[in-house]
Amino acid sequence: MTEVAYVVEYDGGYDDRSEVVFARNPMEARRLGANELDAEEESCTFRRAPEFDGCASHDELRQAQLDAGWWFTCGYCERHVAVGDTYFAGENEDEEYEFEPVLWGDVYCNGWHAGADAVDHVVRRIRSWEGAEAAIERFPGAVIERVNPNTFHHERRNELVATVEFRVPPEFQFVFWWQVGDNSLTMSALAQQEWSGYRHWLKEHRERSEQA
Ligand SMILES: [Zn+2]
């Protein structure tokens, strides 16, 4: 049997959410929907939604949802966006505009917000990449676990920097956190022991490569 569209709704009191999923039967729809909505299956209801059956792509589905009166949160400013809704902007926030939602993977208030989000993505990617590079250079042999490009600097609190999570040889047991550019690392007492092991490993490693 082919997949058809269902609307799955999560009733969370103040936090109602719905999503359209494509499934072979109602049980599958509820399972997929609960997963999409990050909710328990038992708290979700579903209905068949033939109006979305023909949607072949994500953008096509979003457009059909907008046309059917659904609202979304803008992928950039998180404002509610729906066709025909208005918002206030301008110098005194007194000029009324009608939303012209733009689809670009996510739904955005307007083209400007879609563009600004794309720029943000690039900035985060560059920050992640630079962070990983800096950590590899500073902690030779380290294995990068994760880079979070958007963390507030622990002292200059309005500055966003990358935090790198990594493990070190020879044990690779604990995860260490380093904010790019910092002169210190924070670690537990147990991890401190491993850190001295790493310093020792590094020293031996350097001596060996100097002899070679
Ligand atoms: Zn927006």
Instruction: Let me know if residue 173 belongs to a domain.
Output: yes
Ligand 1 midpoint to CA 157 (Å): 25
Q: Are residues 127 and 202 in the same domain?
A: yes
The tokens for 35 are 């997963």
Instruction: Let me know if residue 10 belongs to a domain.
Output: yes
Rounded Cα gap, residues 86 and 97, in angstroms: 5
Ligand 1 midpoint to CA 76 (Å): 5
Predicted confidence (pLDDT) per residue in 25-71, tens digit: 999 999 999 999 999 999 999 999 999 999 989 999 999 999 999 99
Residues near 141 by Cβ (< 8 Å), separated by ≥ 6?
Answer: 168, 169, 198, 201, 202, 205
**Residue that terminates a domain, selected from 54, 70, 99:** 54
Q: Are residues 48 and 124 in the same domain?
A: no
Residue 114 pLDDT greater than 70, yes or no: yes
Instruction: Let me know if residue 126 belongs to a domain.
Output: yes
Ligand 1 midpoint to CA 204 (Å): 54
Number of domains in the chain: 2
Q: Are residues 127 and 46 in the same domain?
A: no
Are 162 and 147 a contacting pair, CB within 8 Å? yes
**Residue that terminates a domain, selected from 54, 74, 95:** 54
Q: Residues 160-178, buried b or exposed e (16+ Cβ, 10 A)?
A: ebbbbebbbeeeeebebbb
pLDDT band at 142 (very low <50, low <70, confident <90, very high): very high
Residue 13 pLDDT greater than 80, yes or no: no
Residue 1 pLDDT greater than 70, yes or no: no
Ligand 1 midpoint to CA 79 (Å): 6
Domain range enclosing 161: 120-211
**Residue that terminates a domain, selected from 54, 72, 95:** 54
Residue 212 pLDDT greater than 80, yes or no: no
Residue 176 pLDDT greater than 90, yes or no: yes
Residues near 27 by Cβ (< 8 Å), separated by ≥ 6?
Answer: none
